[in-house]
């Protein structure tokens, strides 16, 4: 009876090798019945990944739009709040958004997340000056996004 270098008797289905390690009988790697993936199997896996990606891309895109719209809502709330604070403190409306920055009500004019610019805000001026003596020029009463297009809720960005 043959033994391997470690003194064991080889099993009938295992084939001894010169280095003492044993492999089962059957096809060798790279042989006609290799244990590697076939081209067909690889193509099926790639197709499944592509099908999953086609579902994920539109969902990911709508998540990005939703995030930008959320930032726009927060920026509009902040701008309107600071305009109201300015009017309460100074008994007049600010002449521009930059005046809010200059007087310390905001650090900078926020960037419109839809347009990517801080210069596209559409300001709505008051009809009559709210100053006590009515000598101050009419200032900003409200602010809207200058972006074209419609939000996910169906309203135009300029109406927010």
Residue ranges covered by each domain of the chain: 39-151
What tokens were used for 73? 């809502």
- Which comes out higher in pLDDT, residue 14 or 66? 66
CA angle, 58 as apex, 144 and 113 as ends, to 5°?
25
Measure the CA–CA gap between 138 and 126, rounded to whole angstroms.
6
CA angle, 40 as apex, 38 and 44 as ends, to 5°?
120
Mean of pLDDT over the chain: 83
Mean pLDDT along residues 97-105: 93
Burial 35-66, CB ≥16 within 10 A → b, else e: eeeeeeeeeeeeeeeeeeeeeeeeeeeeeeee
The values of phi and psi at residue 84, to 5°, are -65, -45
Measure the CA–CA gap between 140 and 82, rounded to whole angstroms.
11
pTM: 0.64
């Amino acid at each position: 009876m043959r033994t391997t270098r470690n003194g064991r008797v080889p099993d009938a289905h295992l084939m001894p090798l010169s280095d003492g390690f044993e492999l089962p009988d059957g096809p060798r790697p790279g042989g006609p019945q290799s244990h590697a993936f076939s081209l067909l199997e690889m193509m099926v896996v790639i197709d499944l990944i592509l099908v999953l990606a086609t579902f994920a891309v539109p969902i990911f895109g709508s998540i990005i739009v939703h995030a930008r719209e959320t930032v726009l809502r927060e920026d509009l709330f902040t701008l309107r709040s600071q305009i109201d604070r300015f009017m309460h403190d100074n008994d007049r409306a600010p002449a521009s958004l930059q005046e809010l920055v200059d007087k310390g009500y905001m650090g900078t004019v926020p960037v419109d997340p839809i347009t990517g610019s801080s210069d596209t805000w559409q300001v709505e001026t008051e009809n009559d000056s709210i100053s006590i003596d009515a000598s101050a020029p009419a200032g900003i009463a409200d602010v809207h996004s200058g972006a074209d297009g419609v939000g996910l809720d169906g309203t135009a960005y300029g109406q927010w």
